[in-house]
Amino acid sequence: MTTSFQDLIEEARLSARALLDYGESLFSPTIRLGVTGLSRAGKTVFITALIHGLTRGGRFPVFEAFATGRIARTYLAPQPDDGVPRFAYESHLQNLIAQRRWPSSTVDISEMRLVIDYQRQNGADRTLTLDIVDYPGEWLLDLPLLGKSYAQWATESLALSRAAPRVHLAQDWHAHLATLVPEAPQDEQATLTAAKLFTDYLRACRDERFAMSLLPPGRFLMPGNLAHSPALTFAPLDVPGDGIAPEGSLWAMMARRYEAYKDIVVRPFFRDHFARLDRQIVLVDALSAFNAGPEALQDLEAALAGILDCFRIGRGTLLSTLFRPRIDRILFAATKADHLHHASHDRLEAVLRRAVSRATARAESTGAAIDVVALAAVRATREATVANGRDKLPSLLGTPAPGETANGEIFDGNTEVATFPGDLPVDAAQLFRTDSFRGLTASAADTSDFRFLRFRPPLLERDGADEPALPHIRLDRALQFLIGDRLQ
């Protein structure tokens, strides 16, 4: 199977696009930064805040080139790929700032080019081009399928679906599966039903009560224009991991469509997008996992291991010496840290660091520098101390989104409230133990240990006609790691 990766990589590197990239990067230094994360992880908000901060004078003390005034100007430029949707920066920003609404959800890839005019530390004037590529993390989690046969994938998916809490959500699908004979003649109706029930199961796992991360194939939950096509109409069968499908059988039909999925969906993504990235930030919504419970956190860890495996693919080929080295920095970022008091920011980082380091130990070395940060691209809360009798409680002030509830109160989206989000434990390892805390998976909302409200974007103080900077947490640290070394 590794040879097929190899072929794919060489194919990608030799593609006209890659050669063009190479030529361009000789001419003007370019970084292609991938921004990924599962749906709702915070990609759109992150990119919008990053562009706004760089082009409109954000407050980035830890981003050295910016803080010391060496960046003369940053501006938007036409993107390099004519076939990829443009990142809708202006409308996302308008939503955030003028409407105080979070940008509407997107499920496709998009791209935006920034040009940074800066002065090197030695005084020379230079330009760095930053291409930002926003793509769903679900697509990334599909890449491991390239190395798996249908039978291997089916065996793994079934094993996963037989563990708690997934097994409860898989009941209908499992019941139907029990009626199927893999060696029986192919049967379109049975396949349609199996695919539907399997998709329902994946969707149930993604629900906020369970917040499972590892749910391939990614397009089953975001089919786009492939909905109802045969490439998305298959499901795992109970077959031996090393078995061979008899010709004309149900099993053979499923296996053929699984291969079609890889050809139509996974390979083109790898070749046209993933293989061209230089740097990567992976956004992780750890708070959703806390809301759901320890099982969700463990599932997240498994997904991170899968993601790290993807970055290992694509290094160390002969041709990589001909072209610029591929992904050499990966940042894992826990988003929405503004839901926690600052005392817990380091703890959130520690939780993610632990999940990533165990995943790194399992994956072979990626050859890339890896770092971890807890951040909020847009900070929607402020901190305050609220007196409660003689106690002083550290709390967060923010405007809960309309419809959010707490202690039986339903918020209208206009009232600012003080909340006590609760603290993360000092010992990150504690959270990964089963039964270490209660989440929505195992209990009702009012008895779970963590419950994070969704807040509206912050109300910004306008200073004259200028657009104010968006408040953030550690966005500058992320920038420093992702591009700081290329601005020296």
Binding residues (CB under 6 A) for ligand GDP: these are 37, 39-45, 102-103, 105-106, 335-336, 338, 376-378, 380, 454-455
Smallest distance from the beta carbon of 372 to ligand GDP, in angstroms? 17
Smallest distance from the beta carbon of 48 to ligand GDP, in angstroms? 8
Smallest distance from the beta carbon of 141 to ligand GDP, in angstroms? 14
d(CA 292, CA 299): 11
| SS3 of residue 220 by DSSP | helix
Backbone φ and ψ for 375, nearest 5 degrees, come out as: -140, 165
- Kindly tell me which of 47 and 71 has the beta carbon lying closer to Mg ion: 47
Are 182 and 239 spatial neighbours (Cβ–Cβ below 8 Å)? yes
With contacts defined by CB under 5 A, name the span among 98-106, 249-257, 300-308, 378-386 that binds Mg ion. Answer: 98-106
With contacts defined by CB under 5 A, name the span among 38-46, 121-129, 188-196, 353-361 that binds Mg ion. Answer: 38-46
d(CA 309, CA 320): 18
Smallest distance from the beta carbon of 51 to ligand GDP, in angstroms? 13
With contacts defined by CB under 5 A, name the span among 40-48, 295-303, 416-424, 442-450 that binds Mg ion. Answer: 40-48
- Which partner in ligand GDP, Mg ion, none is near 336 (CB below 5 to 8 A by kind)? ligand GDP
**CA separation (Å) from 109 to 36, 59, 73, 102?**
10, 28, 27, 19
User: Please, what sign has the CA dihedral across residues 286, 288, 294, 296?
Assistant: negative
- Kindly tell me which of 92 and 353 has the beta carbon lying closer to ligand GDP: 92
Smallest distance from the beta carbon of 381 to ligand GDP, in angstroms? 7
Which residues, at least 6 apart from 213, have a Cβ–Cβ distance to it below 8 Å?
38, 141, 289, 296, 299, 300, 302, 303
Smallest distance from the beta carbon of 66 to Mg ion, in angstroms? 25
Residue 345: alpha-carbon gap to chain centroid: 19
Half-sphere exposure of 78 (CA within 13 A, CB side): 4
Radius of gyration of the chain, Cα coordinates, nearest whole angstrom: 23
106 forms part of the interface with Mg ion (CB under 5 A): yes
- Which partner in ligand GDP, Mg ion, none is near 45 (CB below 5 to 8 A by kind)? ligand GDP
| SS3 of residue 67 by DSSP | helix
95 forms part of the interface with Mg ion (CB under 5 A): no
Which residues, at least 6 apart from 32, have a Cβ–Cβ distance to it below 8 Å?
21, 131, 133, 276, 277, 278, 279
Residue nearest to ligand GDP (CB): 102
- Tokens representing residue 320 in the block: 């990589």
Taking Cα atoms as reference points, which of 241, 266, 247 lies closest to residue 154?
241
- Which partner in ligand GDP, Mg ion, none is near 144 (CB below 5 to 8 A by kind)? none
Among positions 30, 36, 44, 441, the unique one binding Mg ion when judged by CB under 5 A = 44
Which residues, at least 6 apart from 88, have a Cβ–Cβ distance to it below 8 Å?
103, 106, 110
Chain position carrying tokens 């491991």: 144
- Which partner in Mg ion, ligand GDP, none is near 179 (CB below 5 to 8 A by kind)? none
Smallest distance from the beta carbon of 314 to Mg ion, in angstroms? 24
- Which partner in Mg ion, ligand GDP, none is near 216 (CB below 5 to 8 A by kind)? none
- Which partner in ligand GDP, Mg ion, none is near 102 (CB below 5 to 8 A by kind)? ligand GDP
Strands 382-388 and 391-398: antiparallel
- Which partner in ligand GDP, Mg ion, none is near 312 (CB below 5 to 8 A by kind)? none
43 forms part of the interface with Mg ion (CB under 5 A): yes
The site that binds Mg ion (CB under 5 A) totals a number of residues, namely 3
Question: Residue 471, by phi and psi: left (phi above 0), alpha (psi -120 to 50) or beta?
Answer: beta
- Kindly tell me which of 48 and 149 has the beta carbon lying closer to ligand GDP: 48
Give the binding site for Mg ion (CB under 5 A).
Answer: 43-44, 106
